[in-house]
């Protein structure tokens, strides 16, 4: 049973003195119990990532934020991050990116992980959001890092990393039933958890959804209704000093093909098993993780399936001023794509890809205020061989308690199967597509100017090279090949902050801007650098979270997205509202309205795939015992 | 390829330089987390009711014991000074062995002190406090870091088994309360 958490928003100016970064002991003795619960600490957590990411543009979406947003799927929950651009394509498909390059096809520079398991597709380098979801009630937090992920995250973390972390089974005992229905979709989720011996716990869940058609731009239904079912379990336990986790999921979704309006159905399904073992070792911590992931998509144009096996090891330890993390991993993906005759196909139809990585990161406390992080990642993949990816970060904790940081990193995106193997005889032939590369320069500032206020600002300047282009044969025009003649720069600013107007009312804002100067070598690209994506030049989010009474909370969110360039798709301003009423500690009723301002809006520019969406209302009931 | 090899060499040189600069050891300044935890331990004494037979007299102090590795140092002794709980003073003890819990009312289990959890089973009136940073086994109160704040989970069943009553004000602040 979860006790009602303290009211939203922190209490009054709790001990500004206690938040200083300097030496000497803060005086907390005059704080009340509730005020102690509000003091922010830099966590000396065991997770190496938490330390390294302090000097990065990282936005954390908490499980509580997700609940209060009324989001019914993972992509909708990701709209809460101001550093992500989320474009809904149709009833279930989304294009999500950070720092540009968005669009259903171009979006290939984001690494998405669920508890360490990558959702990245080796077929397209994207994430199939119509197939990937998690039970939102069991999400602990989502860390959205814009910019290269540094040495600790796997490969292809080029423009950003979305790290979805689910709650430990220890934190989800009892039964939870959640049902909801609205004019656009209906969902349900049932979860039950219990203890495993003295120090262990388990849980199992089943969840499902149905979603209505979206709209054609000309009016009328788009015949892209979808439905899906998911289930899974997780167990966490300890044996002596060893902490173990075993989790797995199974899913089966029926969605519609998203090109054209055929209403043709496609089925995506999959399963995964993840195991994790952590223990103290050599004065630090050792973590070993392995997973298996199977993915299948069946549609009339082809059948795709892939089996991924991944094992990785990471050892963190500290000595004097150093916090070192060393790691290595190996992943093998067996990918098959059998195309319907007459269309484009992959040659060879089946391929086994392997990816090895080794990394080292040292976080050095040069002085008490200055931290230098040096990271180096070495990757070897089946397509392009070896890559060296160094990165340097410097963090300066100023006497007032704020943090100034800067970073330079090198990142790359390895070729996917479509880029290497796609063939349509006479028209397109598989070539020698290389990795795209990025040198990212970033700078940022994070502060708490007042006890009730927090601010984070970051700016980036990205230099890209070897971006994807489509080239004609110099002699015969056809066949075309995919090549790497694109390059250029992007730059922009990301900022977010929150302010507690009163103890029960928090206001937050987020802004991201993007400027692009990308192009291809003259005469070498007939795609008009489609790989550069279709992005807004700015995006603004405003949120108000209020605790009207102890049992009633109200969230209002406004988002304004600029028109997309180059497609010219209109920008829009939309509002979401959610009213939650907690009858008792165990029962909550919520009424939410999403996208309430405009009658119809289109979020993405891809002409064959874009659909229109309208207003939606949703009622949900959540009961926990 | 040569350019990245040169970058790698440059990086190694910078690292070597940083190793020289950072040669002198210094204590990491992350004291705030444990200062907050120390102050919590002191507050717990005022929000938990012990059965009266646990104390030898009306003026006997509420004793906070730390077993295993002590992450608090002086901070806990400072926090305890001139604080009272139900009119009783507070005291800190650091037993040599994790199983020597006689006379303790609160025990904080640090790294390596797991033996205290078993010893605590047979001792009524003992509030076990564990920490995510040093153990996975959960006592009556279990410290975690949540959203950059020090929070805790409460196992009310375990507390009641030992005759302790936890005030509702403390229960309300817990992230979760296990009450069944």
Q: Tell which of B6, B17, B18, B117 to mutate to test the A interface (max A CBs under 10 Å).
A: B18
* pLDDT tens digits for range A550-568: 899 999 999 999 999 999 9
- The partner residue sitting opposite A2, judged by closest CB among B24, B32, B176, is B176
Pairing of strands A385-397, A403-413: antiparallel
Interface contact flag, A23 B15, Cβ < 8 Å: no
Interface contact flag, B138 A199, Cβ < 8 Å: yes
Q: What is the pLDDT of residue A64?
A: 87
Interface contact flag, B22 A44, Cβ < 8 Å: no
* pLDDT tens digits for range A461-516: 999 999 999 999 888 888 999 999 999 999 999 999 999 898 889 999 999 999 99
Q: Which residue of A has its CA nearest to B25?
A: A320
Q: Cβ(A247)–Cβ(A230) under 8 Å?
A: no
Q: Which residue of B has its CA nearest to A439?
A: B4
The SS3 of residue A601 is strand
State the Cα angle at B12 between B11 and B14, rounded to 5°. 65
A147 class by beta-carbon count within 10 Å (0-12 exposed, 13-18 middle, 19+ buried):
buried
Q: Cβ(A439)–Cβ(A408) under 8 Å?
A: yes
The SS3 of residue B9 is helix
Count CA atoms closer than 13 A to A446's CA, side-chain side. Answer: 14
Which residues in chain A touch residue B26, judged by CB atoms under 8 angstroms apart? Answer: 320-321, 365, 368
Interface contact flag, A392 B11, Cβ < 8 Å: yes
- The partner residue sitting opposite A171, judged by closest CB among B8, B22, B176, is B176
Count CA atoms closer than 13 A to B36's CA, side-chain side. Answer: 27
- Give the pTM: 0.80
Q: Say how far residue A488 (Cα) sits from the centre of its chain.
A: 25
Taking residues A609-621, report their average pLDDT. 93
Interface contact flag, B33 A44, Cβ < 8 Å: yes
State the Cα angle at A215 between A212 and A219, rounded to 5°. 140
Q: What is the pLDDT of residue A445?
A: 93
Nearest CA to B105 among B92, B87, B86, B118? B92
Interface contact flag, B150 A44, Cβ < 8 Å: no
> Could you say which DSSP state residue A212 is in?
-
Tell whether the model's pLDDT for residue A333 goes beyond 90. Answer: yes
ipTM: 0.79
- The partner residue sitting opposite A43, judged by closest CB among B15, B31, B145, is B145
- The partner residue sitting opposite B43, judged by closest CB among A5, A36, A40, is A36
Looking up tokens 């790989």 gives A531
Q: Tell which of A6, A26, A44 to mutate to test the B interface (max B CBs under 10 Å).
A: A44
Which residues in chain B touch residue A384, judged by CB atoms under 8 angstroms apart? Answer: none
Q: Which two tokens stand for residue A269?
A: 């399904």
Bridge partners, residue A612, by sequence:
A215, A602
Tell whether the model's pLDDT for residue A7 goes beyond 90. Answer: no
* Torsion of Cα atoms, A233 then A237 then A243 then A249, to 10°: 0
Q: A231 pLDDT band (50/70/90 cuts)? A: very high
- The partner residue sitting opposite A238, judged by closest CB among B21, B137, B180, is B137
Q: A260 pLDDT band (50/70/90 cuts)? A: low
CB atoms within 10 A of CB B8: 15
Q: Cβ(A381)–Cβ(A395) under 8 Å?
A: no
Which residues in chain A touch residue B39, judged by CB atoms under 8 angstroms apart? Answer: 28-29, 31, 36
Q: What is the pLDDT of residue A567?
A: 92
B25 class by beta-carbon count within 10 Å (0-12 exposed, 13-18 middle, 19+ buried):
exposed
Beta strands in A240-344 (DSSP E): 242-256, 265-281, 284-299, 302-319, 322-339
Q: What is the pLDDT of residue B120?
A: 85
Phi, psi (5° rounding) for residue B173? -85, -15
CA distance A255 to chain B (A): 36
Question: How would you write the pLDDT of chain B (180 residues) with one tens digit per residue?
Answer: 455 566 656 666 666 666 665 544 433 334 678 888 999 999 999 999 988 888 888 888 999 999 988 888 788 888 888 678 888 889 999 988 878 888 899 999 988 787 888 888 888 889 999 998 777 788 999 998 876 788 999 999 889 888 899 998 898 889 888 875
Q: What is the pLDDT of residue A10?
A: 30
CA distance A397 to chain B (A): 11
Q: What is the pLDDT of residue B20?
A: 61
Nearest CA to B63 among A2, A92, B44? B44
- The partner residue sitting opposite B133, judged by closest CB among A4, A18, A44, is A44
Which residues in chain A touch residue B180, judged by CB atoms under 8 angstroms apart? Answer: 1, 174
CB atoms within 10 A of CB A502: 11
Q: How far apart are CA A267 and CA A209, in angstroms?
A: 14
A233-237, A370-374, A445-449, B15-19: the lowest-pLDDT one = B15-19
Tell whether the model's pLDDT for residue A21 goes beyond 80. Answer: no
Q: What is the pLDDT of residue B8?
A: 57
Interface contact flag, A39 B150, Cβ < 8 Å: yes
Q: How far apart are CA A566 and CA A575, in angstroms?
A: 25
Q: How far apart are CA A27 and CA A4, in angstroms?
A: 29
State the Cα angle at A361 between A358 and A367, rounded to 5°. 170
In chain A, % of residues over pLDDT 70: 92
* pLDDT tens digits for range A72-109: 999 999 999 999 999 999 889 999 999 999 999 899 99
Interface contact flag, A2 B40, Cβ < 8 Å: no
Total domain count, chain B: 1
Which residues in chain A touch residue B32, judged by CB atoms under 8 angstroms apart? Answer: 18-19, 26, 39, 41-42
Which residues in chain B touch residue A5, judged by CB atoms under 8 angstroms apart? Answer: 175
Q: A53 pLDDT band (50/70/90 cuts)? A: low
Q: Which two tokens stand for residue A5?
A: 């958490």
> Of A313 and A321, which is predicted with more confidence?
A313
CA distances from A7 to A137, A506, A583, A590 (A): 19, 11, 16, 17
Q: What is the pLDDT of residue B123?
A: 83
Q: What is the pLDDT of residue B4?
A: 55
The CATH number of residue B99's host domain is: 3.40.50
| Structural domain boundaries, residue B92 | 3-178
């Amino acid at each position: 049973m979860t006790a009602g958490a303290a009211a939203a928003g922190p209490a009054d100016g709790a001990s500004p003195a206690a938040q200083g970064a300097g030496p000497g002991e803060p005086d907390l003795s005059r704080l009340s119990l509730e005020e102690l619960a509000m003091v922010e600490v830099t966590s000396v957590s065991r997770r190496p990532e938490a330390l390294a990411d302090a000097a990065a543009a990282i936005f954390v979406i908490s499980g509580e934020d997700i609940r209060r947003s009324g989001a019914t799927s993972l992509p909708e929950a990701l709209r809460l991050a101001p550093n992500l651009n989320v474009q809904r394509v149709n009833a279930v498909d989304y294009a999500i990116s950070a720092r540009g390059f968005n669009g259903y096809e171009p979006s290939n520079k984001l690494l998405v992980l669920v508890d360490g398991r990558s959702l990245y597709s080796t077929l397209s380098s994207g994430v199939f959001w119509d197939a990937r979801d998690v039970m939102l009630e069991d999400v602990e937090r989502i860390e959205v890092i814009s910019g290269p992920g540094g040495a600790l995250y796997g490969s292809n973390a080029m423009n950003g990393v979305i790290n979805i972390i689910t709650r430990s089974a220890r934190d989800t005992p009892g039964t939870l039933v959640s049902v909801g229905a609205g004019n656009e979709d209906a969902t349900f989720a049932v979860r039950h958890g219990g203890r495993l011996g003295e120090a262990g716990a388990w849980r199992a869940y089943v969840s499902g959804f149905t979603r209505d058609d979206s709209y054609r731009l000309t009016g009328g239904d788009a015949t892209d209704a979808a439905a899906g079912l998911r289930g899974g379990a997780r167990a966490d336990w300890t044996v002596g000093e060893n902490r173990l986790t075993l989790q797995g999921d199974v899913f089966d979704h029926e969605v519609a093909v998203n090109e054209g309006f055929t209403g043709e159905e496609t089925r995506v399904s999959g399963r995964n098993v993840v195991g994790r073992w952590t223990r103290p070792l050599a004065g630090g911590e050792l973590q070993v993780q392995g997973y298996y992931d199977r993915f299948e998509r069946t549609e009339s144009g082809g059948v795709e399936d892939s089996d991924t096996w991944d094992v990785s090891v990471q050892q963190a330890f500290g000595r004097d001023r150093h916090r070192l993390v060393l790691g290595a991993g190996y992943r093998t993906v067996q990918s098959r794509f059998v195309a319907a005759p007459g269309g484009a196909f992959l040659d060879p139809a089946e391929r086994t890809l392997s990816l090895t990585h080794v990394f080292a990161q040292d976080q050095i406390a040069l002085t008490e205020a200055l931290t230098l992080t040096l990271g180096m990642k070495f990757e070897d993949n089946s397509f392009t061989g070896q890559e060296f990816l160094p990165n340097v970060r410097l963090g300066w904790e100023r006497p007032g308690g704020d943090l100034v940081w800067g970073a330079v990193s090198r990142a790359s995106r390895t070729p996917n199967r479509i880029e290497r193997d796609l063939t349509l005889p006479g028209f397109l032939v598989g070539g020698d597509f290389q990795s795209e590369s990025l040198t990212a320069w970033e700078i940022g500032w994070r502060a708490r100017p007042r006890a009730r206020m927090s601010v984070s600002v970051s700016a980036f300047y990205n230099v890209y090279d070897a971006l994807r282009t489509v080239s004609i044969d110099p002699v015969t025009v056809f066949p075309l090949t995919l090549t790497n003649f694109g390059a250029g720069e992007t730059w922009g600013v990301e900022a977010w902050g929150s302010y507690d107007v009163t103890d029960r009312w928090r206001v937050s804002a987020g802004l991201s801007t993007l400027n692009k100067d990308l192009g291809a070598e003259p005469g070498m690209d007939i795609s008009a650098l489609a790989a550069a994506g279709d992005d807004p030049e700015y995006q603004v989010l405003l949120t108000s979270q209020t605790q009207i009474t102890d049992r009633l909370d109200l969230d209002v969110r406004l988002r304004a997205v600029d028109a997309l360039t180059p497609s010219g798709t209109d920008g829009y301003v939309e509002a979401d509202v959610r009213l939650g009423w907690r009858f008792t500690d165990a029962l909550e009723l919520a009424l939410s309205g999403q996208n309430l301002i405009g009658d119809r809006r289109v979020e993405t520019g891809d002409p064959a795939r874009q659909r229109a969406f309208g207003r939606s209302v949703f009622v949900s009931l959540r009961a926990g015992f | 390829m040569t350019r990245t090899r040169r970058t790698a060499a440059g990086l190694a040189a910078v690292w070597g330089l940083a190793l020289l600069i950072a040669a002198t050891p210094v204590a990491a300044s992350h004291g705030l987390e444990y200062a907050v935890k120390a102050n919590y331990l002191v507050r717990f004494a005022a929000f938990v009711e012990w059965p009266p037979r646990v104390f030898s007299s009306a003026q006997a102090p509420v004793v906070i014991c730390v077993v295993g590795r002590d992450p608090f140092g002086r901070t806990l002794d400072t926090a305890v000074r001139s604080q009272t709980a139900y009119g009783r003073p507070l005291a800190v003890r650091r037993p040599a062995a994790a199983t020597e819990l006689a006379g303790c009312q609160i025990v904080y289990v640090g790294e390596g002190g797991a033996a205290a959890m078993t010893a605590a089973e047979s001792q009524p009136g003992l509030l076990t406090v564990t920490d995510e940073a040093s153990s996975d086994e959960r006592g009556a109160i279990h410290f975690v870091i949540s959203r950059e704040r020090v929070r805790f989970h409460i196992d009310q069943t375990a507390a009641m088994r030992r005759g302790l009553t936890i005030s509702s004000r403390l229960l309300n602040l817990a992230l979760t309360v296990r009450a069944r």
